[in-house]
Amino acid sequence: MAKDTFAVPELTPYTEIPKIQPGVMAHSAPFKAKEEFQTPLGYPGELVEDWQQKAIAKMGELLGKYRSLRVYLDACVKCGACTDKCHYFLGTSDPKNMPVGRQDLMRKVYRRYFTLAGKLFPKLVGAVDLTEEVLNDWYSYYHQCSQCRRCSVFCPYGIDTAEISMAAREIMDSIGVGQKYCNEIIGKVYKVGNNLGLPGPALRDTLQGLEEDVYDATGVRVRYPIDEEGAEILLVTPSADFFAEPHIDGLIGYGKVFHEAGVSWTLSSYASEAANFGMFIGSYENMRRIALRIREAALQLKVKRIIFGECGHAWRVAYSFLNTLAGPWDFLDPRYPVPQHICEFTYDLIQQGKLTFDKSENDDKVITFHDSCNVARASRMGNVPGGQFEIPRAIIRATCNHFYDMDEDTIRDRTFCCGGGGGLLTDDLMELRVKGAKPRMDALNNVMQEKGVTHMAAICAICKTQFSKVLPYYGMEMDQVLSLHQLVSNAIVLTRRTADDDEAQDGLDDED
């Protein structure tokens, strides 16, 4: 790989608001999707001829379909409350990475073509024609938004830049200017069933290997089943959980929890992906098509419940949209919400006293917790508002002796994005990813200095991958990021259930 050509920001005790440096990130744009990645999603393969007209028409269509877009393009008063909230602005100083700066890229075009003031007095209200230059800015800066929604928390009108970024990407896709990383991945889901393109046999192999590993390590037969018809629970998890570090340790943990719960469960090779990149590109149709695969798998396997593994945006799509996109779910057991998060499942068992932990297994670590943005600001767990903050922390406290939160301004609904969400987790955006991680790295570094924190647990596949990659840029170790269920996995005391387990135990005893 080519050597990085950018300077890594220096960590500071508090993330300071930089002076604006217009245009410093204009060069940062992801690879464009070629025809082979565009067509399976229903988009033109390259920039269409009358792209300007088509883009404006598409914008008009979206304005009629999404109240959020219409209201948000009108309502901004430029108060500036959002200007210092985006981790990409804080890390890069580019004012087009201020949420309002990013929104304005579309707002000025909206004003020109859809408002009286913009048609009559464009200069006065800052309206511009949709030129190639503007389109290039769109492509650069709408792919510098991780759709983390931090700005929407502080906006007096709740203006959500994610909604505008999504619309912009949908407009660009519709005129043939797609982003390679997202669109290639969605194609893989349609073709193979998951983002990574892992076919069924590879999954079965992996899971068999896991069973053996866990048996070797614990002497207990914990099962990791796939495509088992009639299982009670369908587990849908990000495909990174099948092979990446530290994701896979989370998957091992889920299996142990199910084992202790004594429930039957299964994965599906057809719906072997929790992530839904249809959301990142703002495409309702693609998001729906991906979500429907889960419905089909649930029907096929005749399960009673659906549980999602650790993945931020997947949980947003699951919690907030799954019922809309692929419901109604009346064929499932009505006693449980559809879907549930693995943390909700584990937490319920802890509440019922059904899990035994040996916390000292995690004594080699001092833990902090990273609230993933899509969980923190766009979904919930449990039955009270804010459950998504409390439940993971409760699980950590149940499994570890040493836990400290990062600075209050950087956690819960004010959490900072890892820097790689929203379809930006691609090597061609490495500069952006490293710089965008700075606010989170500052907070992590502080709690490492002040509290001796050694590890950060996360509940999002993208966060885990992103941190593994960028931690070393900041002089930290890639394995300082953990799956939350890895902590569970370490501390859980397993119950022996089969004769096989006992044999293994005897074997172990003999060795003693």
Partner 1 sequence: MALLTNFYAFLFYFAAFVLVAGLTRKIIQYAVTPAPLKIPTTPAPTTRWGVVLRMVREVVLFESLFRGNKWTWIFGWTFHFGLFLVTLRHLRYFIEPVPFPIQLIQPFGIYGGIAMVIGLAGLWSRRFLVDRLRYISAPSDHLMLALLLGIGCTGLLMKFAFHVDVVEIKTFFQGLYRYDIQPLPADPLLLLHLLLVALLMIIFPFSKLLHAPGLFFSPTRNQVDNPREQRHLAPWAKRLEH
Site for partner 1 in 161-200 (CB under 8 A): 163
Residues 427-486 close enough to bind partner 1 by CB under 8 A: none
Taking the complex as a whole, the smallest distance from the CB of residue 380 to partner 1 amounts, in Å, to 6
Q: How many CA atoms lie within 13 A of 395 on its CB side?
A: 31
Taking the complex as a whole, the smallest distance from the CB of residue 78 to partner 1 amounts, in Å, to 5
Contact 375, 310 (CB under 8 A): no
Contact 472, 478 (CB under 8 A): yes
Residues 58-97 close enough to bind partner 1 by CB under 8 A: 63-68, 70-72, 74-85, 95
Residue with Cβ nearer partner 1 (222 or 311): 311
Q: Which single residue is written with the structure tokens 């903050």?
A: 389
What burial class does residue 346 get, using C-beta atoms within 10 Å of its C-beta: 0-12 exposed, 13-18 middle, 19+ buried? Answer: buried
Q: Which of 9, 44, 91, 101 binds partner 1 (CB under 8 A)?
A: 101
Binding of residue 332 to partner 1 (CB under 8 A)? no
Residues 335-374 close enough to bind partner 1 by CB under 8 A: 337-339
Q: Count residues binding partner 1 (CB under 8 A).
A: 74
Q: Which of 248, 378, 462, 487 binds partner 1 (CB under 8 A)?
A: 378
Query: CA-to-CA distance for 164 and 309, rounded, in angstroms?
Result: 28
Taking the complex as a whole, the smallest distance from the CB of residue 15 to partner 1 amounts, in Å, to 15
Buried b (16+ CB within 10 A) or exposed e, 278-295: bbbbbbbebbebbbebbb
Residue with Cβ nearer partner 1 (330 or 510): 330
Contact 92, 441 (CB under 8 A): no
Sheet-wide strand order for 367-370: 367-370, 455-458, 481-483
Q: Which of 264, 300, 320, 454 binds partner 1 (CB under 8 A)?
A: 320
Residue with Cβ nearer partner 1 (124 or 499): 124
Binding of residue 319 to partner 1 (CB under 8 A)? yes
DSSP sequence for 392-428: HHHHHHHH-S-B----GGGSGGGPPP-S-TTT--SGG
H or E stretch covering 367: strand 367-370
Query: CA-to-CA distance for 68 and 155, rounded, in angstroms?
Result: 14
Query: CA-to-CA distance for 421 and 462, rounded, in angstroms?
Result: 6
Residue with Cβ nearer partner 1 (57 or 494): 57
Residues 383-422 close enough to bind partner 1 by CB under 8 A: 383-386, 388-389, 413
Taking the complex as a whole, the smallest distance from the CB of residue 81 to partner 1 amounts, in Å, to 3
Dihedral sign, CA of 375, 376, 380, 381? positive
Structure-block tokens of residue 476: 């930290």
Residue with Cβ nearer partner 1 (415 or 489): 415
Residue with Cβ nearer partner 1 (65 or 354): 65
Q: Which of 328, 335, 353, 509 binds partner 1 (CB under 8 A)?
A: 328
Residues 262-291 close enough to bind partner 1 by CB under 8 A: 284-285, 288
Binding of residue 299 to partner 1 (CB under 8 A)? no
**By CB under 8 A, which span of 109-117, 169-177, 210-218, 440-448 interacts with partner 1?**
109-117
Taking the complex as a whole, the smallest distance from the CB of residue 440 to partner 1 amounts, in Å, to 19
**Close Cβ partners of 334 (under 8 Å, ≥ 6 residues apart):** none
Binding of residue 382 to partner 1 (CB under 8 A)? no
Binding of residue 47 to partner 1 (CB under 8 A)? no
Binding of residue 22 to partner 1 (CB under 8 A)? yes
Query: CA-to-CA distance for 48 and 44, rounded, in angstroms?
Result: 7
Q: Which of 8, 25, 33, 100 binds partner 1 (CB under 8 A)?
A: 100
